[in-house]
């Protein structure tokens, strides 16, 4: 027998034909010695290297069940550019995202959010648009005193702003085809009025033709049925308002002078910082007074008060429409300027003929 080298006493282990000894798992030596290494297991634990959600910019969700309206209609500010991260600790309203809620955040309009919060969606144009309306009304009054073709200049401006403002008021922008169609209808009505000796039938005939034309154009559209219907209604309304504004061209010159000045005074009085009922009353009284003043320098006389008050009522309706549904600043400087004058055109024509 050959002598085997002396081996230290080891515990019984299974035979290993390749002469390899089992290796201890990292940290096992500490356990065999009766110690426990708290960091050994962490060194060989898989670490997730992917991106995780940023939780610092969201508010904690309470355990209480959220109100469905407040959970969904959470106010949101304009969103941050894509790919940019908000600074840590920033408020949720500054990052463009609402606070985390169970129900999620849906995109809502400012008018819907105002209604959900119990606020009115009506915002009046204010003093600056009222000044522009008054300036345009005075231009109409002065041009009417000069002559028919002089009246065309401020009238065409009024019709263009009316068509553009109505589309923007309905949230449809840019809508170049619809605005161009409405403005073209207004120009066609003006030409028909001049060709027919300023007969009001030219206005009605042009409206009928343009409704049919808008219907044909929308039928050729490839948009969704709901969008086509919405676009059709907006196009017809914008065209009708711009064409109806041509009533100043069909009315008598004295009626245009009295009515345009009355609208200018009424809109300026409506912009005063007064409660709404008091502001409306003051506006109507101021318009009636302006009608009497302008009637004294024209052939209408004291009957100008009725014409001024009637034109002011229509102008305030147009002013209210331009204030509805949380309009933007651009709406105020288009629809807020033009709609009071455009809405007053039929009253100026009808009352002018009745009181002449």
DSSP string, 100-158: P-SS------HHHHHHHTT--------HHHHHHHHHHHHHHHHHHHH-HHHHHHHHHHH
**Which residue, 255, 246, 229, is CA-closest to 351?**
255
Q: Which one, of 140, 343, 151, lies nearest residue 243 by Cα? A: 343
Distance of CA 64 to the CA centre of its chain: 34
Sign of CA dihedral 264, 266, 267, 269: positive
pLDDT at 39: 53
- Provide the strand spans (E) within the chain: none
pLDDT at 335 (0 to 100): 92
CB 66 within 8 A of CB 73: no
Residue 110 CB neighbour total at 10 angstroms: 15
Start-to-end C-alpha separation, the chain? 145
Distances (CA, A) of 338 to 32, 309, 351: 91, 18, 20
Q: What is the DSSP letter of 96?
A: T
Rounded-to-10 torsion of CA 84, 89, 95, 101: 120
Task: Please give the helix or strand (H or E) that residue 343 lies within, else none.
Answer: helix 335-355
pLDDT digits (tens, 9 = 90+) for 194-210: 999 888 899 999 999 99
DSSP string, 30-60: HHHTT---TTHHHHTS----S-----TTSPP
Q: What is the pLDDT tens value at each position of the chain, 356 positions in all? A: 444 444 444 545 554 544 455 555 554 544 445 445 555 555 554 454 544 444 444 444 444 554 444 444 444 444 444 444 444 444 444 444 444 444 444 566 666 777 787 777 888 898 999 999 999 999 999 999 999 999 999 999 999 999 999 988 887 766 788 899 999 999 999 999 999 988 889 999 999 999 999 888 888 877 788 888 888 898 999 999 999 999 999 999 999 999 999 999 999 999 999 999 999 999 999 999 999 999 998 888 889 999 999 999 999 999 999 998 788 888 899 999 999 999 999 999 999 999 87
- pLDDT for res 262: 96
Q: Name the residue among 300, 304, 307, 313 with its Cα closest to residue 340.
A: 313
Length of the chain: 356
Q: What is the pLDDT of residue 52?
A: 45
pLDDT at residue 112, rounded to an integer:
73
What is the model's pLDDT at position 37?
A: 53
Would you say 257 and 143 are in contact if contact means Cβ atoms under 8 Å apart? no
């Amino acid at each position: 027998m050959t002598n085997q080298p002396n081996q230290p006493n080891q515990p019984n282990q299974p035979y290993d034909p390749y002469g390899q000894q089992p290796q201890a798992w990292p940290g096992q030596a500490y356990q065999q010695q009766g110690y426990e290494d708290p960091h050994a297991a962490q060194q060989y634990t898989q670490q997730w290297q992917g991106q995780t959600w940023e939780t610092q910019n969201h508010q904690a969700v309470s355990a209480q069940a959220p109100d469905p309206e407040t959970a969904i209609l959470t106010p949101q500010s304009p969103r941050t550019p894509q790919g940019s991260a908000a600074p840590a600790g920033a408020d949720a309203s500054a990052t463009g995202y609402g606070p985390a809620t169970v129900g999620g955040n849906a995109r809502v309009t400012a008018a819907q959010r105002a209604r959900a919060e119990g606020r009115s969606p009506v915002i009046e144009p204010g003093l600056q648009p009222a000044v522009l309306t008054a300036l345009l009304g005075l231009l109409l009054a002065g041009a009417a005193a000069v002559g028919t073709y002089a009246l065309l200049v401020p009238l065409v401006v009024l019709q263009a702003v009316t068509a553009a403002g109505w589309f923007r008021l309905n949230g449809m922008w840019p809508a170049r085809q619809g605005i161009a169609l409405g403005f073209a209808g207004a120009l066609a009505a003006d030409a028909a009025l001049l060709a027919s000796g300023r007969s009001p039938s030219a206005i009605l005939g042009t409206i009928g033709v343009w409704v049919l034309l808008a219907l044909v154009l929308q039928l050729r559209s490839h948009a969704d049925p709901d969008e086509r219907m919405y676009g059709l209604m907006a196009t017809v309304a914008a065209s009708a308002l711009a064409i109806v504004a041509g009533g100043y061209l069909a009315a008598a010159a004295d009626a245009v002078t009295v009515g345009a000045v009355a609208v200018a005074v009424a809109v300026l009085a409506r912009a005063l910082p007064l409660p709404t009922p008091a502001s409306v009353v003051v506006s109507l009284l101021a318009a009636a007074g302006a009608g009497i003043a302008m009637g004294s320098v024209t052939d209408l006389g004291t009957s100008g008060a009725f014409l001024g008050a009637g034109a002011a009522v229509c102008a305030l309706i147009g002013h209210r429409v331009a204030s509805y549904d949380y309009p933007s600043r651009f709406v105020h400087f288009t629809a807020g300027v033009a709609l009071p004058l455009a809405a007053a055109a039929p009253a100026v024509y009808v009352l002018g003929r009745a009181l002449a």
